[in-house]
Amino acid sequence: MDTKKLIIEAHQNAVDHGFYNGCNGTKKHIDIGELLMLIVTEIAEAVEAHREGRVFSTIKNNVAVIGPEYYADCQWSGYDKYCFLEDIKDTFEDEIADIFIRLFDLCGYLGIELKILSDDESGPNANIKTIAGKLYSILKNLPSTYDVGRYFKIQLCNFYGDLLLFCTEHKINIEKHISAKMAYNKTRPMKHGKEY
């Protein structure tokens, strides 16, 4: 995964869609806590999607139904966008992609480069068996301070690494889901129709 490129793209899309604008198009003060909390809300939405059984891999047997070309180039015209809205949007995997996109946006805003810091492939808290429990355990690495120093950056990198391990463990092709969601996000209205 080209993390540097994704960070730039996710942040630029957020800027283009007004998430960093105040009144009358002026630059607004960004609260780091707000950006961190938006990551937390995406985790909660992923858990809720899983609780409700909105899991792409079980709903549509993965890419076989829509064809590999759908993910390959994400041409968002006609059927492709309809297919995304019908089959992928708001699924568990789509919400996991949103976690990454929010993380990438935060890193783009702060100028942080994400790296894998550990070669430990056991995953976050390997003894935890539930999806919700595993996602909750990943939160331990989300910074709880607004001091954007070295420890803040290390925590974000560990959070990123744990998310990647989670996706590997659960056979989520996260690159494809991120690509699909970022392409869809480019078609959305300002602030995606939300306040922030």
154 close to 117: Cβ distance less than 8 angstroms: yes
Task: State in Å, rounded, how far the first CA of the chain is from the last one.
Answer: 28
DSSP single-letter state for residue 188: S
195 against 45, higher pLDDT? 45
- The residue with greater pLDDT, 160 or 192, is 160
- What is d(CA 7, CA 79) in angstroms, rounded to the nearest whole number? 28
Q: Which long-range contacts (CB under 8 A, 24 or more apart) does 74-83 make?
A: 74/179, 74/180, 74/183, 76/183, 76/184, 76/186, 76/187, 81/184, 81/187
Query: Which residues neighbour 12 within 8 Å (Cβ) at sequence distance 6 or greater?
Result: 108
Residue 56 has a pLDDT of: 81
Kindly list the distances between the CA atom of residue 74 and the CA atoms of 2, 9, 26, 81, 160, in Å, as whole numbers in the listed order: 17, 15, 33, 9, 24
In this prediction, residue 62 carries a pLDDT of 44
Neighbours of 30 (CB within 10 A): 15
Per-residue pLDDT reduced to its tens digit, 115-132: 887 666 555 566 788 999
Task: Quickly state the pLDDT bin for 196 (edges 50, 70, 90).
Answer: low
What is the tens place of the pLDDT at every residue in 80-95?
677 777 778 999 999 9
Find the largest Cα–Cα distance for the chain: 51
Taking only the tens place, the pLDDT of each residue in 152-189 is 999 999 999 999 999 999 888 898 889 889 988 888 76
Q: pTM of the entire structure?
A: 0.85
More confident residue, 62 or 137: 137
Q: What is the pLDDT of residues 6-34, one digit of tens each?
A: 999 999 999 998 888 765 556 667 889 98
Show Cβ contacts of residue 174 under 8 Å, excluding neighbours closer than 6 positions. Answer: 1, 93, 96, 97, 100, 164, 167
Q: How confident is the model at residue 73 (pLDDT cuts 50, 70, 90)?
A: very low
**Quick one: tokens of 84?**
């995304």
User: How many residues are given for the chain?
Assistant: 196
Q: Are 114 and 2 in contact (CB under 8 A)?
A: no
What does the block give as tokens for 60?
């549509």
